[in-house]
Structure 1
Amino acid sequence: MNDDTSPCPFCAIAAAYPAPPASSTLAASVPTDATAAPERVSPSAFVVLASRDVVAFLDILPMTAGHLLVATRGHVGIVGDVVGEVGREVGFWLPLLSRTVAKVTGVTDYNIVQNNGARAAQVVPHVHFHIIPRPETMPQVQSKSWTMFGRGQRDELDDDEGAELAGEMRRVLREEVESLGRAKL
């Protein structure tokens, strides 16, 4: 699970972007531009969601523009160890965040990938899902199977582009949350 010799970067992000109070509305889980300050952690985190049990932020080594990570707030190593309300909350946010990524990037085809353990290509041993937009033109990589599991040629996320993209995702996610209030569930 957690390697005690090195701190978990996802736990650091979760700690830097606290959850809203339990009595808050869903919209309170979407940080404002002022509270989403990326420099709260190093490397910078471009946070889109900070709910009670889930945080979502841009991948710092994205496979494509808009590559979003959706992680449990508390440290859990593999998805089989996620229990109760945490699992329900992850399941609640994934469709909203997927629609957000599609709307912001203009790419309606995407993968949701979740790896469990080092042999399954899990690099950070903390449960997280990748929402990876799949545009019509993809960069060429030597092994297409590696691309599916998060390896391959990846460039660092530019801080200015990350801030702009995360800001737009927060705006669209707020709209998604507001539309839930108007929908008949």
Structure 2
Amino acid sequence: MAPTTYEASLPPPPGTTSPSFDPGTHHDHDIASCPFCRIAAIYAPYDPADPPPAEAEALNPEASAPNPSTFVVLSTPLLVAFLDIMPLSSGHVLLCPREHRPKLTDATPAEAAEMGGSLRVLSAAVARATGVTDWNVVQNNGAAAAQVVPHMHFHVIPRPELRAKGSERFTATMFGRGQRDDLDEEEAGPLAERIREAVAEVLRAEGRAKL
């Protein structure tokens, strides 16, 4: 997968803890050096079946809001998902554990189980929110496998019909190859809200109170 450029422009979070952050499990990992750890520390969990409104503090942490902005679409005590800031297509989402796990094999059984269920729900939600019913789920492990941020994460990438009008830019983006533009923050807010609402719809349709 091509680089996801969450760079050091993200400020350190207030303190070093989040609702699920346990420094003892991070093996002396410095969360200020990992953009995904900082996102996990800044954004608190919420109930995916009943997401907060777009203006809620859980989605807009004023005191430590990251730059570039982060648009969270799912947040539980174990996991967090957000829009990629250099998406391959509209609705490109990243899903990762809150704790710093460099590779998939570093995830705990509980994290792995919840990621599997969340990937299915997120896939359905992203398809609903974007209207694109084909997608890739991609996950890289290590630099030789094109992993750039050393905090394991899955990509959910909508794939518009290649022959559709205006979709020429997607013809060579399979598995991360192709043009990537910066996320349009004006479009990202409403898109993230649609995905959060779609996650809740999927869970309610299945009669589930949680993931």
TM class by smaller structure = 0.7 to 0.9
Q: Which residue of 2 aligns with 1:46?
A: 71
Aligned to 1:96: 121
Q: Say yes or no: does 1:27 pair with 2:27.
A: no
CA contact (8 A) 1:27 1:174 kept: yes
Matches within 5 A, 1:50-129: 50-129=75-154
Cα offset, 1:54, TM superposition: 0.9
**Superposition misfits of 4+ residues, deviation over 3 angstroms:** 1-6, 138-142
Give me the whole-angstrom Cα distance separating, in 2, the residues matched to 1:75 and 1:133: 26
TM-score for both structures, normalised by structure 1: 0.84
Report the CA distance between 1:37 and its aligned residue. Answer: 2.0
Uncovered stretches (5+) of structure 2, i.e. residues with no partner: 1-26
Describe the SS at the equivalent of 1:166.
helix
Cα distance in 2, alignment partners of residues 11 and 32 from structure 1? 24
Percent of counterpart pairs with the same letter? Answer: 49
Tell me the CA shift for residue 80 of structure 1.
1.3
CA-atom RMSD in angstroms: 2.6
> Is residue 188 of structure 2 the alignment partner of residue 162 of structure 1?
yes
* Partners of 2:41 and 2:157 in 1: CA distance: 25
Report how many residues are paired: 175
Residue 123 (structure 1) shift: 1.1
Contact in 2 for aligned 1:53/1:72 (Cα 8 Å):
yes
Any conservation in 1 of the 2:82–2:94 contact (CA below 8 Å)? yes
Tell me the secondary structure at the aligned position of residue 45 of structure 1.
Answer: coil
**Residue identity matched to 1:32:** P
Q: Which residues of structure 1 form unaligned runs of 5+?
A: none
Cα distance in 2 for partners of 1:77, 1:182 equals 30
More helix per residue: 1 or 2?
A: 1
Could you say what secondary structure the match of 1:96 adopts?
helix
The DSSP-based 3-state class of the residue aligned with 2:205 is helix
Aligned-partner residue type, residue 65 of structure 1: S
How far apart are 1:4 and its partner, in Å?
Answer: 5.3
**C-alpha distance in structure 2 between counterparts of 1:121 and 1:139, whole Å:** 24
Q: 1:2 to 1:45 in 2, by over 3 A?
A: farther
* Structure 1 CA distance for aligned equivalents of residues 61 and 129 of structure 2: 19
1:180 to partner: Cα distance: 2.5
1:36 match: 59
- Residues in 1 aligned to 2:28 and 2:180: alpha-carbon distance in whole angstroms: 25
8 A Cα contact 2:138 2:155, kept in partner: yes
Indicate if the aligned counterparts of 1:64 and 1:132 stay in contact, CA closer than 8 A. yes
TM-score by length of structure 2 reads 0.74
1:140-162 alpha-carbon deviations (Å, 9 max, x no partner): 479x4xx3332431000011101
